[in-house]
Structure 1
Amino acid sequence: MTGHASLLLLLLPALAAVLLCCPLAQCGQQNYTSMFSFGDSLTDTGNLLVSSPLSNHIVGRYPYGITYFHRPTGRCSDGRLVVDFLAQAFGLPLLQPYLQSRGKDLRRGVNFAVGGATAMDPPFFQEIGASDKLWTNLSLSVQLGWFEQLKPSLCSSPKECKEYFSKSLFLVGEIGGNDYNYAFFKGKTLDDAKTYVPTVAAAVTDATERLIKAGATHLVVPGNLPMGCSSAYLTLHPGRNGSDYDAAGCLRTYNDFAQHHNAVLQRKLRALRAKYPQARIMYADYYGAAMSFAKNPKQFGFTQGPLRTCCGGGGPYNFNPKASCGVRGSSVCADPSAYANWDGVHLTEAAYHAIADSILNGPYTSPRLL
């Protein structure tokens, strides 16, 4: 065997590893040239930070952003979010928050999501008596309005827009979780909240349809996370006995509620697919992806478990609403990657990475994203 042949045999395994790990957009997979996202704090990369003085006292200070950016960016985590991992996987830049994008070229995408945002508009919360709980009035419909204002700068004719958006990925959510959070934290019961589900889910699918009519053809619509695994819910709405918790230690009733919302949302998305067969509408099962590490945390490197927060102010789950992350009296863990839960409401970068990987490469998108 020649020296060149021997060298080739040695290099083949390394070459294969490089091919498997290269960015998806460079691996012959779906090649998106731009990305647009909508939603709440699970997706916001800095809009709440500049739109609400309240946020500066929380996500605008240490230790938010310590893992990847090494500074607060307005993300409600120690580092990157699912939207960031998706952008990087497709070889796109991290999306600029819309409210910080003046004068910048946005043809490769922008993020309209706002922390605290809801699927429903403020009058809905006035009607149910929960308007005092709202962190922001920048609801999903406001975000869609921003997109429509921006659209003329992205493409100028129906033909040009059709071509441009045929290579764009739209992330519609997660959104809707706060609609229920505000209701529950106002004292509404699970039965009360169940009556809101059809309306909230319809707001999400109506937004999806509005984007399709505007030219979107590739849309990912995530469901809600398992709220019963949130240390905020575990602390503020504890079970009465052991049977109220599942094997992972999560609250059964609140997880059942999240699954109910997701089931209703999926039914509405199926109807939307039938109405718009030319569009690729993908449901992202954030619930299933998160439950995979809630049930098997060590398999994902979460040696400190899935429920206890990395950053908090004490208590059984290290969540204290009077000493929340970033506030005096709270402290941050030494290794956020050992935790799935960041601050009691939001997840760590490591957990978001696991979810992103699951929806890119696992069984948690329907139809498959890739």
Structure 2
Amino acid sequence: MMGLRFYLCFLVLFTSLFISTHGLGHLCLPEEHVALFIFGDSLFDAGNNNYINTTTDYQANYEPYGENFFKYSTGRYSDGRIIPDFIAEFAKLPFITPYLHPGYHQYTDGANFASAGAGALAETRQGMVIDLKTQLSYFKNFERLLSEKLDDAEAKTLLSRAVYLINIGSNDYVVPFTRNSSIFQSYSQEEYVDMVIDNLTFVIKEIYEEGGRKFGFLNLAPLGCLPLGRALNSGKTNECKHELTALSKLHNKALSEVLQNLENELNGFRYSIADTYTILSERINNPLKYGFKEGNIACCGIGPYKGINSCGGKRSIKEYELCENASEYVFFDTVHPTEKANQQFAELMWSGTPDIIGPYNLKAFTLPFITPLLYPGYYQYTDGTNFASAGAGALVETNQGFVIELKTQLSYFKNFERLLSKKLDDAEAKTLLSKAVIDLKTQLHYFKKLAKLLRTKLGDEEAKKLLARAFYLISISSNDYFALSTSNSSALQKPTLRKNMWKEICDSKLGTIGLFANCQVIELKTQLSYFKNFERLLSKKLDDAEAKTLLSKVVY
């Protein structure tokens, strides 16, 4: 099937060398292809504002923007690449083209709708930028165009596999402070945040209705601690603008709650949210730890902390100062990170751990299904492979002769490693293998970090209670024990094995592990008697008809 598909795609491509493609509008969508659709503000804008009727206050298509990577200005608010550029690179995609770029772009890779200065609210810099709902309308137009290039089934597949990156909200909160707005006299901070989140939620649901399932978000930075925020706090040396940072915290809390609700409400909805607040705070407060020299002052701008938005001299204020080496700075201008900082953020979004990004990282959204090793067809070696075998255990004797036990799986892995070395050079193969898995000790290390974080967030006592009540699910070795129990084996009589199997689990102070709830096994007949007791209790709480109706609708 795959060979036929390749042949057809090749045939269309080959024919197009000789025949006008006027009648050959359809593209061939590679299998497992993941597109990126990007929405948001200047942190994600790759140049859309170059093509709208606005002022240079909302554009970055002039020096010194872009010069450290592109060697010219592209419209990106950085000295080089921005976060979506790195995400695209990690996903093996080209840079995602701005939707409004007049030239051709590869439709099946996605599109960038972000606009510098935009907010979730239409009123934020209205008429000067592309607000979030307008970005949504552009996406719907793009979707119609995509349907012309692909058949309906392929277009739907592309949209469902795609990752939708969204970063929005900062401008909604910053603008009232930069314009001395009276908005917070009309609305409480909580009410205003709700309006922003409601607009964002509407857009998420609309994208979901169009087929989107995988969403990546950044929560808000500590806005009052950016160079712009500190500059707004004039007269208070080295202090953040706490009112702005308070709005960041309210927004982040509300966003987290909304995404959890959407995950429960929308079938197949999955999301990844990066803790930008923490990521950036750490670099502001400890720049040396992350390879920077300066975390508070911008590379380009003027005034306190170079927090006045004059970088490039094309805006209302013409004077600006530029640092010699942007890579030494966290911020390139008043609010935007340098390329080096953007790369660090993107790496954490792509493959970061749950203390920084969750419940998924973006890499989890873009990996194809991992092929079984013994599958006879072709598979992508660099994505890894699946050695697992149903019924297998850590012991050779577990279901021996009928499954692939763990040591044989290891031998398969070693064969695969040799095959990989033929496909890649030794250095590349070693690099891939070194990054491929998280060993058990590292997982334990992450767990300890999480426990430490819990203690910080909850306090020692609450954290201890949570850890004691927690359920710890460990997936290896169950077949070893079940096989012994079902085969009348005498191995269970060995005291050391019994201790390893049961006592350590039952004596654990951590909580409930695996399938052993408080070390009690409740047989099926006893469970049935419990159900009958419950049924009698239910009849006391409801009348007979209601109880019968409820029980008839229950899924057992």
TM range (shorter): 0.7 to 0.9
Partner of 2:380: none
Q: Describe the shift of the 1:77–1:49 C-alpha distance in structure 2 as closer, same or farther (beyond 3 A).
A: same
Query: How many residues are treated as equivalent by the alignment?
Result: 321
Residue in structure 2 matched with residue 186 of structure 1 by the alignment: 179
Instruction: Quote the RMSD (CA, aligned, Å).
Output: 2.3
Q: CA deviation at 1:274?
A: 0.6
Are 1:61 and 1:326, in contact at CA under 8 Å, matched by a contact in 2? no
Letter in 2 for 1:197: V
Aligned residue in 2 for 1:204: 200
The equivalences for 1:6-21 within 5 A come to none
**239 and 175 in structure 1: CA distance in 2 versus 1, 3 angstrom threshold:** farther
CA distance in 2, matches of 1:185, 1:135: 17
Q: Which runs of 4+ in 1 moved over 6 A?
A: none
Structure 1 segment 1-370 matched on structure 2, within 5 A: 33-55=34-56, 59-122=60-123, 133-134=125-126, 136-155=128-147, 159-172=153-166, 174-188=167-181, 192-238=188-234, 240=236, 245=239, 250-303=240-293, 305-313=294-302, 315-321=303-309, 323-327=310-314, 328-363=318-353, 364-369=356-361, 370=364
Aligned-pair CA distance for 1:53: 4.4
Secondary structure of the structure 1 residue equivalent to 2:107: coil
Q: Measured at CA, do residues 210 and 53 of structure 1 come closer, stay the same or move farther in structure 2, by a change above 3 Å?
A: closer
Q: Deviations over 1:166-185 (max 9, x none)?
A: 3211102x111111121121
- Alpha-carbon separation, structure 2, partners of 1:215 and 1:58: 32
Gaps of 5+ in 2: 1-31, 365-556
Tell me the alpha carbon deviations over residues 246-303 of structure 1, each in whole angstroms, 9 at most, x when there is no partner: xxxx444422321111101111111111111312122222212212212221111111
C-alpha offsets along residues 61-115 of structure 1, whole Å, 9 cap, x if unaligned?
1101011111000011111111111001110110100000454331111100011
Using the TM superposition, give the Cα deviation of residue 310 of structure 1 relative to its aligned residue in structure 2, in angstroms: 0.3
Amino acid at match of 2:252: N
Q: Matched residues in 2 for 1:41 and 1:193: separation?
A: 24
Q: Which has more helix, going by share of residues?
A: 2
- Who is 1:22 aligned against? none
SS at match of 2:128: coil
In structure 2, how many angstroms separate the alpha carbons of the residues matched to 1:50 and 1:152?
21
Bigger relative contact order (CA 8 A; separation at least 6): 1
Matched position secondary structure for 1:170: strand
Q: Distance in 2 between matches of 1:287 and 1:347?
A: 13
Q: Is the 1:38–1:143 contact (alpha carbons within 8 Å) kept by the matching residues of 2?
A: yes
TM-score calculated relative to the size of structure 1: 0.80
Shift of the 266–107 alpha-carbon distance from structure 1 to 2, 3 Å rule, reads same
| Deviation of the 1:239 alpha carbon | 6.5
Measure, in 1, the Cα distance between the counterparts of 2:347 and 2:45.
Answer: 19
Q: Which amino acid aligns with 2:130?
A: L
- Once residues 279 and 52 of structure 1 are traced to their aligned partners in structure 2, the CA distance between those partners, rounded to angstroms, is 36
Amino acid at match of 2:299: C
Task: Give the distance between the partners of 1:115 and 1:170, measured in 2 at CA.
Answer: 18
Q: Which amino acid aligns with 2:176?
A: A
Q: Report the TM-score, using the length of structure 2 for normalisation.
A: 0.54
8 A contact 2:230–2:307 mirrored in 1? no
- How far apart are 1:55 and its partner, in Å? 2.7
The one-letter code matched in structure 1 to 2:296 is L
C-alpha offsets along residues 111-130 of structure 1, whole Å, 9 cap, x if unaligned? 000111111123xx5xxxxx
> What percent of counterpart residues are identical?
29
Report the 3-state secondary structure (helix = DSSP H, G, I; strand = E; otherwise coil) of the residue aligned with 2:36.
strand
Q: Deviations over 1:316-346 (max 9, x none)?
A: 312334x444344212111100001111121
